Amino acid sequence: MSLGGCAARRNEAEGSAVPVKQKANHPSAQKTEAVACASWIAGLQQDIEALVEPYDGSTSVYAVALDPQTFASLDGEVAVAPDARRVAASIIKLPILACALETVTAGELSLDEQITVTQQDIVGGSGNIQSRGAGVSYGIDELLHAMIAQSDNVAANLVIGRLGMDTVNETCAALGLTQTVLARLMMDTEAQAQGRENYTSARDAAAVLQRLAAGTIATPELCERARGYLLAQEDARGIVEGVPGGVLVAHKTGSLANAQHDAAIVYAERPYVLAILTQDLEREQALALERDISFAINARAHS
């Protein structure tokens, strides 16, 4: 079975294969497969706890099985400190994306709307928009793609400026993201010095991806477009390293000096969402742990 029982079609606009839902099989067969899918991931709890245990509470993991037909979340899960509030790094861009999609769905924002970069908007860190300088205009669609695929900080700040920080936080509350807060712009060191920080949890990061996978956070078309952004992610470390070639991974990474995170929809034979948030580990140590957790879960997803 490929793509977790889902079909794949070529999205010509994005230039990537985007998983789409298959037609449902007979209900009884679908229910049997869903139950099996839920139980396989729950059986991994002890294995994942053993991988995380040596790192003394520095790591949060949340994984949930998805229905192979509809990509709706099932009951089976793996949870290790899933609600521990962690410094979000660029994982905060997931709820920003969710807010943008909801705003477009509500008719209050267009993907074609243009925003022009000013000199004040230029910040460092990841992304290419900073190198193109001020005076260049970008559509919301371009900014969202850059914010996710390249983790572009200028793009993220422009989107936040258009939506409003309060609106993003209202979206987080409405989605039940209890540990997530957007308190500063990207690369705002002055805000950091004042103690303002962005936070999230493994469960919250996974929750956004669960809704994107199922196509329920916005219109199905917008959710598919957003999954295209995630599939175009340029950072191929962490979770991706634990997944065999040919398996699609739609994910968002995030890193700071003291944090290394990854959250993904993995289109294995038994698809699932996996979020791993690490704190106060060396970067390579954190990436190796993410890879090992990913490998353990993916091996069972194909067995």
Helix (H, G, I), strand (E, B) or coil at 62: strand
Residues 6 or more apart whose CB falls under 8 angstroms from that of 170 comprise: none
In the prediction, which pLDDT does 37 show? 53
Q: Can you list the domains of the chain with their CATH numbers?
A: 3-90+179-301 (3.40.710.10)
The interaxial angle of helices 220-231 and 93-105, nearest 10 deg, is 150
Q: What is residue 127's predicted lDDT score, i.e. its pLDDT? A: 94
> Which of 32, 73, 112 is closest to 215 using CA atoms?
73
Q: What is the pTM of this model?
A: 0.89
d(CA 298, CA 266): 8
Rounded Cα distance, 150 and 232, in Å: 8
Of 93, 243, 95, nearest to 153 by C-alpha is 93
Neighbours of 249 (CB within 10 A): 23
User: Which mean pLDDT values do the consecutive 10-residue runs of the chain (303 residues) have?
Assistant: 31 43 46 58 93 92 96 94 98 99 98 98 96 97 99 99 98 98 98 97 99 98 98 96 96 96 97 97 96 96 80
Predicted pLDDT at 2: 30
CA distance 274 to 270: 13
